[in-house]
Structure 1
Amino acid sequence: MSIVKSTESASRRDGGVTALARGLAILQCFDRPGAQFTVSELARLVGLSQPTTWRLCSTLIDKGFLVKVPGSSALRVGAPALTLGYAAAQGQDLRALVRPYMEQLTTRVGTTVALSLYSGNEMLSIDQTMGSFVVPGQPVGWRASPASSSAGLAVLAVLPDEDRARALQAIAERDPASWPRRQERIERAAAHFAQHGYIVLTDMFDGQYAAASVPLVEGGTVPRYWGLSCSGLSTTWTVNALRPVGEELVRIRTLLQPAAAVIGALG
């Protein structure tokens, strides 16, 4: 009998964690200004049945985190959710926002994770979390062409067309002899990003190092473009080995990008 009670207790605990995760997944659907969804639409987005989604939404409505749109069957985020989001973003900068996720990734994969900012047609290293392996010669403050760093290639993949054209022109003019090779690398990275949501670079420093990266776009009057990357020896970090790292970077980007998009406007 004690075993049955223990199992039932564990089931309730697991059920509570599952319900919380599902409720948070519903709230994450409202990740853009003015977003509103019906329960049916939310059920499709989170992959749950409509009755289950309605029960979760009912709880969120009861707690004020969702509210009904007047004259509609749709829902939108309520004041408590907005208050939490504003409190989290107010006074933060993107570096502080990203840092805990960098530390978590370093703990998981054991190598250095770097955050870089696109500035003056270069990638400027802003922050690092040090793992068991560090790519030499790339400390905080290090600058590199966006065509020669994984973070830069990730940024180039999401720059607006006009900004991207100017960046490519600057890269070509800086070293015309290397431009055909760099152009091919940029195009290959953009295609990989379009398909997988992250980029890989396997020929850093004459093929010694490899990396996976994702871009982050900081909002505001003038958007700023960042690259989050994880790198290591190419003998260990093959394209296949980097796949789970890239997928983890995509997961982190999915979590951070909505906040990054508004953090500059609130600063």
Structure 2
Amino acid sequence: MSDSESTQTPAKRESGVTALARGLSILQCFDRPGAQLTVSEIARQVGLSQPTTWRLCSTLIDRGFLVKTSGGAALRVGAPAMTLGYAAIQGQDLPALARPYMEQLTQQMRTTTSLSLRNGVEILSVEQTIGSFVVPGQPVGWRASLASSSGGLAVLTVLPEDERRAVLEAIATRNPDAWPRRKERIERAIHQYEAHGFILFPDMFDGQYAAAAVPLIEGSGPDRRYWGLASSGLSATWTAEALEPVGKELVRIRSLLQPAASVLPAARA
């Protein structure tokens, strides 16, 4: 650290950290392919005044991370930002990208965190970080009905309507006796996701364990794949109230992973 840096007041150092955080928040607004946003649109998304937003955008423009569109009325992501993003995910898959965030969540909450992939009407466990509780009989490679696991229920909340209808019919046909209970659980999951951005079940597997989960969608179009990111613990410890912060953290992790997940197939091509 230089002398000038060491003599900065805490307020000045905090100002620099705040500006960096705000600049990164602005870049995160461009979270879909071809996004073009005006300064006023960015200001609304990040919750800052237009003058402050413009000053931050101006710096990002100077560095090439944002560029003006041909008409000059909006901004889009510049080559340096795209280069960083594509370089970071080139050759990687979703489990590799998700693993560090799963580890952080497990260390923070002591829950077991799992990433599972939809396969037809089933969910397949692909990655797992072990917390203070191990879900019995559910190692990596474990399969279950989409309606029987928190990750699978999370996937069902975002399936296109026609596809979800076909999946539900198949699940009902496979086990008619269990269908009424599963139907109620699926409806509850859809309602929770629409209301909160995550699902929360304190009574999975006959009340043995509790879990919160969010969906992730890899790619776009007909070839996209659906994943469930779930975090679980013993029901005796993890009540619905205790799990709510876990669900909110899963929403935050999803917001970080989803933009990369959307472009993974193209980045690997």
* Normalised TM-score (structure 2): 0.94
**Alpha-carbon deviation of 1:6?**
8.2
Distance 1:193 1:7 in 2: 48
Distance 2:34 2:110 in 1: 40
Q: Which moved more, 1:210-219 or 1:70-79?
A: 70-79
Offset from partner CA, 1:183-206 (integer Å, 9 cap, x none): 011001100110000011222221
Q: What SS is found at the alignment partner of 1:165?
A: helix
Q: Which moved more, 1:212-221 or 1:20-29?
A: 212-221
Give the CA RMSD over aligned residues.
Answer: 1.4
Query: Is 1:22 matched with 2:50?
Result: no
**Alpha-carbon deviation of 1:72?**
2.5
The 5 A counterparts of 1:254-265 are 254-265=255-266
Q: What SS is found at the alignment partner of 2:37?
A: coil
Distance 1:27 1:6 in 2: 29
Query: Is 1:76 matched with 2:76?
Result: yes
What amino acid maps onto 2:24 in structure 1? Answer: L
Query: Is 1:232 matched with 2:219?
Result: no
Moved over 6 A (4+): none
Distance 1:247 1:234 in 2: 18
What amino acid maps onto 2:223 in structure 1? Answer: V
Distance 1:13 1:133 in 2: 40
Q: What SS is found at the alignment partner of 2:223?
A: coil
Distance 2:266 2:64 in 1: 25
**Alpha-carbon deviation of 1:212?**
0.2
Offset from partner CA, 1:119-165 (integer Å, 9 cap, x none): 13111000101112111111001111111100000000001112211
Unaligned runs of at least 5 residues, structure 1: none
Offset from partner CA, 1:215-246 (integer Å, 9 cap, x none): 00000551110000001111111111111000
**Alpha-carbon deviation of 1:33?**
1.4
What amino acid maps onto 1:42 in structure 2? Answer: I
* Normalised TM-score (structure 1): 0.95
**Alpha-carbon deviation of 1:211?**
0.2
The 5 A counterparts of 1:1-267 are 9-220=9-220, 222-267=223-268
Q: What SS is found at the alignment partner of 2:34?
A: coil
Distance 1:72 1:93 in 2: 36
What amino acid maps onto 2:149 in structure 1? Answer: S
**Alpha-carbon deviation of 1:256?**
0.6
